[in-house]
Structure 1
Amino acid sequence: MDKNVENVVSQLRAREERGLSKYGVNTERTDLSTLEWLQHLQEELMDGAVYVEKIKQELLEK
């Protein structure tokens, strides 16, 4: 087995547990429209872009 894949799977399982504990639902929920799902995705991707920019700036400052 690829240990990188195994690490990602493990992290996904942990994230699933935290999300279910925090929000009481998972991605099998049916109360969101396609547009609402896309909004959630867009927000997550924007957060990711901010994290990438922060790390880039830290590396440039070294």
Structure 2
Amino acid sequence: MHETGNPDHPGEPLIRTGAEQPWDPEDLAVAQGRYPTPENVARAKAELERDGAAAIERTVP
């Protein structure tokens, strides 16, 4: 679903992605299909620290 009113480009739809909201490492681990074990949470935390929004976009576009 697209929203109207893109403030940067009037007349174009506003497109939102999964990365536009805050993500915890636990959420990313679960979104990747992994149980939120300490190891998987640590892996997700490292991905978020290293890649930022790209880590989320790979999983939840």
Q: Which has the higher contact order (CA 8 A, sep 6+)?
A: 2
What is the TM-score with the length of structure 1 in the denominator? 0.30
What is the TM-score with the length of structure 2 in the denominator? 0.31
Structure number with larger C-alpha Rg: 1
- Bigger helix share: 1
